[in-house]
């Protein structure tokens, strides 16, 4: 399938407008599954029919987490105003949950990272309810059954693309309410365990360059996904 078929489903509005939409779902008890799309998950879709089905499903809302996705959308006539990062969405929703006494489940990252984030949230928001499980121990499907039984208002899953999205999608029918988002490595940043890229890189949409400079092992992954993604975009141009 041409890449533009996926991009047509990606939200093209501002970050603020989507934050408001997601917060409204959180506070009203609506079920919302948000996919933070980068070139990696879109490239995976043509190799894995499960991911293709997920990205085309009406049960998933997709936001452009990556400047490459935004530029590709504009190139192919799917207007997009700005990228909407998973870490920013997660931060906004956690703040809203804390201020309104909502319940949260965090799944992913190392034990010391996710536990530190949970303690930070409890310290900042005494009325919040936080449960968590690290991303390394236990059967993730069994854990998600436990999450569904708790029926939290907000579920953030930091297991990496596309594992986190596929896990949520498998179990989505068990949820009648709650906001569910795959947030990658956001727990490291939100807990304070790892610093986000300096503001210069954030504002210039070059966080990817900062991450590669800090972790050169990412270069192969970047080539296999981002560079190939741009080739597919060029092919799809009218």
The pLDDT, as a whole number, for residue 58 is: 97
Domain that includes residue 191, residue range = 3-236
Distance, CA of 103 to CA of 96 (rounded, Å): 11
How far lies 119's CA from each of 88, 89, 135, 238, in Å? Answer: 19, 20, 17, 51
Helix (H, G, I), strand (E, B) or coil at 178: strand
Q: Picking from 27-36, 46-55, 187-196, 228-237, which range would have the lowest pLDDT averaged per residue? A: 228-237
The count of domains in the chain is: 1
DSSP per position, 32-77: EEEEEE-HHHHHHHTT-HHHHHHHH-TTEEEEE-SHHHHHHHHHTT
Evaluate the omega torsion of the peptide bond into residue 162 and state whether it is cis, within 30 degrees of 0: yes
Phi first, then psi, for residue 198 (nearest 5°) are -55, 155
The pLDDT, as a whole number, for residue 229 is: 80
Q: What is the pLDDT of residues 89-113, one digit of tens each?
A: 999 999 999 999 999 999 999 999 9
The pLDDT, as a whole number, for residue 25 is: 98
Mean pLDDT score, 189-198: 79
Largest distance between two CA atoms of the chain: 54
- Quick one: how far is CA 3 from the chain centroid? 20
The pLDDT, as a whole number, for residue 46 is: 81
Distance, CA of 118 to CA of 187 (rounded, Å): 10
Q: What is the pLDDT of residues 218-233, one digit of tens each?
A: 555 655 666 778 788 8
Mean pLDDT of the chain: 90
């Amino acid at each position: 399938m041409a890449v533009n078929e996926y991009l047509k489903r990606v939200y093209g509005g501002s970050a603020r407008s989507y934050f408001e939409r997601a917060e409204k779902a959180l506070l009203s008890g609506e079920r919302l599954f948000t996919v933070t799309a980068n070139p990696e998950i879109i490239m995976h879709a043509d190799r894995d029919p499960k991911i293709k089905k997920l990205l085309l499903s009406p049960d998933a809302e997709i936001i452009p987490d990556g400047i490459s996705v935004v530029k590709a959308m504009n190139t192919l006539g799917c207007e997009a105003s700005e990228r909407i990062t998973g870490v920013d969405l997660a931060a906004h929703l956690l703040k809203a949950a804390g201020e309104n006494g909502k319940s949260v489940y965090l799944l992913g990252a190392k034990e010391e990272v996710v536990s530190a984030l949970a303690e930070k949230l409890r310290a900042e928001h005494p009325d919040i309810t936080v449960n968590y499980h690290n991303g390394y121990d236990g059967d993730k499907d069994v854990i998600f059954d436990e999450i569904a039984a708790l029926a939290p208002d907000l579920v953030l899953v930091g297991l990496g693309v596309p594992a986190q999205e596929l896990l949520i999608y498998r179990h989505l029918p068990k949820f009648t309410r709650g906001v569910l988002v795959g947030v990658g490595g956001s727990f490291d940043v939100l807990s304070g365990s790892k610093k986000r890229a300096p503001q210069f890189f954030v504002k210039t949409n070059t966080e990817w360059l900062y991450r590669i400079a800090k972790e050169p092992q990412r270069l192969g992954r970047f080539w296999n996904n981002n560079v190939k993604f741009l080739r597919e975009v060029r092919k799809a141009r009218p």
